[in-house]
Amino acid sequence: MQLQEILYTQGFGTRRVCAGLVQQGFVQVYMPEQGSAPVTITQAAMEFVAEGLRFRVQGVDWPYAERAYLMLNKPAGTECSQKPSTYPSIYTLLPSPLRLRPQKAAVQGVQAVGRLDQDTTGMLLLTDDGKFIHRMSSPKHHVPKVYEVTVKHPLDEKQVSKLLSGVVLDDDPKPVRAAACEAVSEFHLRMTLTEGKYHQVKRMVAAVSNRVEGLHRSSIGGVSLPADLPPGGWRWLTTDEIVAVQTKV
């Protein structure tokens, strides 16, 4: 694949812009046979094997990724929307190439897999793989999501028991239950859900006469949010994590 085409697929602009980046000497490619340092390429049409390619654009290293799978530690006070109404968008936390990766659909770049409320923090997945988004969002898939919940009133066994056996929400006569639930401390509840109804954690806690004061998603599937990923930070998912994050109950 031509280098300018590789850059285009990775979100570095139009084909003309990508060709200009190469011709102006802003692109280096890691070529093992040439040593450990990247080599500056100035021929936009130069051919490379895209899979496994690593390159540097304007001083920043990038891996070639046919599809992007990311993990973001969502901070409070951000919205999971391309067009936020009140708070900054989570997409402003990502570098431009990830936001501009070309897609056949009208919307460019990576998209959040589900949403977290503006005041909810923690693990959020983003990708430009539509099939992955559909699979992860399908209620039939039953991917477990673990939430650390800070509540206003002291917890008791009766509340935990109700959350496990099922509570009725006002818009659905069918009881909704937690897949797992435990009182970590007097005001700290750890709850695992396998579906994603609107404001589900907050409404379930309210149904047992308590109130959510803080909400943090700590894991999805078989992958937990790393302790060294700061709020607002992101990183690529590894191949093993892409599989593990889809682990069902």
Tokens of 77: 């006070």
Confirm if 95 and 127 have CB atoms less than 8 A apart.
no
- Find all residues with CB under 8 Å of 45, minimum gap 6, and list them: 2, 3, 4
Closest CA to 1 of 45, 41, 63, 35: 45
Q: Which alpha helices (H) appear in the chain, and where do they start and end? A: 3-9, 15-23, 96-100, 130-137, 157-165, 200-207, 239-244
Query: What three-state secondary structure class fits 235?
Result: strand
Q: Which residues pair with 71 in a beta bridge?
A: 125, 235
- The catalytically annotated residue of 117, 119, 156, 172 is 117
Tokens of 137: 């969002």
Residue with tokens 């402003």: 92
Residue with tokens 């509840």: 189
Q: Which alpha helices (H) appear in 140-238, and where do they start and end? A: 157-165, 200-207
Active site residue 117: yes
Closest CA to 143 of 247, 46, 71, 53: 247
Residues marked as catalytic? 117
